[in-house]
Structure 1
């Protein structure tokens, strides 16, 4: 697969290290992926599952994302609280495990900066709390990725989202220019593959350090790396599923992903991998034709 892959036009820029704000994964376990969704009505893997849709609705097939927050403070940690209600209107409290978690929660700013990936905690009444790191002023979108383990949606992957405002003087950052590799926390991440809108293609990520292949990637969320993408402009969501199987306590340097991005344009990819108990996050800008 790597031998037939063509170089991608990508931008990879460091987004922090193991201590990067918003990459706390020590909370309650959850599920990810998306299915068909309509435009936002709220204002917004298992390896055997596939994702479709864009995650830009707060309701789908009777399941609704209902946040407790309309705004969040800037410059300090904040708690974002929400419930997922089912077709009967009651909060859902039963969620299936996927990639070791029962809920994956994401926050992304409108200019695709400030990425945070959190595993929130749930109280018995179905209220989830996501502890967000410091946010900058602007418009943000929050995503809840889950799979009910009972009811009409049992076994189905949902991604629902809403927008939230962080008051203050907002300045948008331009999307970085394309590149095929970048440094993150002393590691070099190189990406090869090809991407066409609406078509499935393999994506190969290689991790090296000081010119040598990295083979001590520790399993993270039932894989050696986690990859999420957001579309420039509308912040549409896509989860790129890992196809490299976890066969031991360490892996690398090559990681394969199933890449199927539904629309053309620029996508911001966030690759997360773990070494020595530390989580590293790199951001990738991918132009999809």
Structure 2
């Protein structure tokens, strides 16, 4: 599990650095950043986590505009995340990584920085808590009662037209990727899959270890792939 909720740019001597504090509105943008270690030098050795060395997330303060990107790293340790068009407002940029050398070797970190997108920003109300979300003709249903600060199993079922979906393709070494953000402070949580990838197709039922540290509303983003296309379903979960 990652260290902390991601709401800081430094942890245990590791720091997320970058000069991009303002990004253009309504068009693609390149967000550049680096991770420095306890010695103050850029980290360039990262372990694979779900097939990637860096997972990058962008989320607007009202929990809209979710993006999950796998950035590229230059030889000097500078990462570039190519973002899709951003709506005006305050955004938080998360970097999730595991150093493969140094004092933090093998430790999963999530660090973040904020960025502003200029323009007239209107807040989108958080949708009410629900157990089901629809995306691209698929229905995603979540089962399990999460309690703050406690690990609980969570089951996700994917259907289409009322029929179970069994052609989920492996994505990031699993059949679905689940990320959550807390309403109000955008705290981060990655819900780890426990369903093993044992064939080219999976579904309809997937299991996760859910540990959401704080009570309140969380916005869940479930990503799964069928026919080579990535789908992202979003729903609100209330945690007691």
TM class by smaller structure: over 0.9
User: Which residue does the alignment assign to 1:218?
Assistant: 169
Cα-Cα RMSD: 0.7
User: Which residue does the alignment assign to 1:34?
Assistant: 2
Alignment of 1:83-122 (within 5 A): 83-122=34-73
Q: Partners of 2:129 and 2:43 in 1: how far apart? A: 42
Answer yes or no: is 1:239 the counterpart of 2:190: yes
Q: TM-score normalized by structure 2? A: 0.99
Q: TM-score normalized by structure 1? A: 0.82
Which string of whole-angstrom CA distances, capped at 9 and with x for unpartnered residues, describes residues 2-34 of structure 1? xxxxxxxxxxxxxxxxxxxxxxxxxxxxxxx52
User: Which residue does the alignment assign to 1:259?
Assistant: 210
Q: Which segments of structure 1 move beyond 6 Å, counting only runs of 4 or more?
A: none
Is the Cα–Cα contact under 8 Å of residues 131 and 237 in structure 2 kept in the other structure? Answer: no
Which string of whole-angstrom CA distances, capped at 9 and with x for unpartnered residues, describes residues 41-98 of structure 1? xxxxxxxxxxxx2110100111000012010000000000001001111100110001
Relative contact order higher in (CA < 8 Å, ≥ 6 apart): 1
Which string of whole-angstrom CA distances, capped at 9 and with x for unpartnered residues, describes residues 175-230 of structure 1? 00122213210111111111110111111100011111100000000100000000
Unaligned runs of 5+ in 2: none
1 or 2, which has the higher strand percentage? Answer: 2
Count of equivalent residues: 240
User: Which residue does the alignment assign to 1:198?
Assistant: 149
SS in 2 for 1:81: strand
Alignment of 1:123-202 (within 5 A): 123-202=74-153
Unaligned runs of 5+ in 1: 1-32, 36-52
